[in-house]
């Protein structure tokens, strides 16, 4: 097994647990954050991780 295959297989079986236990974000948080911005035509998401809170 190559190093790349080994790294990939390490996470292959953890996806279900990851999805089960990762945090979720309430819609009120999105509304609050949007209300803090004067303009909504441009956004930069740096280090967004899974992207589940990105739009």
Specify the pLDDT at position 17.
80
Handedness of CA 37, 39, 41, 46 (dihedral sign): negative
Q: How far is CA 49 from CA 5, 11, 42, 46, in A?
A: 22, 15, 19, 9
* Helix (H/G/I), strand (E/B), else coil: 49: coil
- pLDDT tens, residue by residue, 13-39: 777 787 788 888 888 988 998 899 888
For the chain, domain boundaries: 3-35
Specify the pLDDT at position 32.
93
Rounded to an integer, what distance in angstroms lies between the CA atom of residue 46 and that of residue 14? Answer: 25
Average pLDDT of the chain is 78
Rounded to an integer, what distance in angstroms lies between the CA atom of residue 26 and that of residue 53? Answer: 10
pLDDT surpasses 80 at 53: no
Specify the pLDDT at position 7.
66
């Amino acid at each position: 097994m190559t190093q790349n295959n080994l790294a990939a297989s390490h996470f292959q079986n953890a996806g279900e647990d990851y999805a089960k236990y990762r945090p979720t974000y309430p819609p009120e948080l999105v509304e609050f954050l949007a209300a803090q911005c004067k303009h909504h035509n441009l956004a930069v998401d740096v280090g967004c991780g899974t992207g589940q809170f990105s739009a």
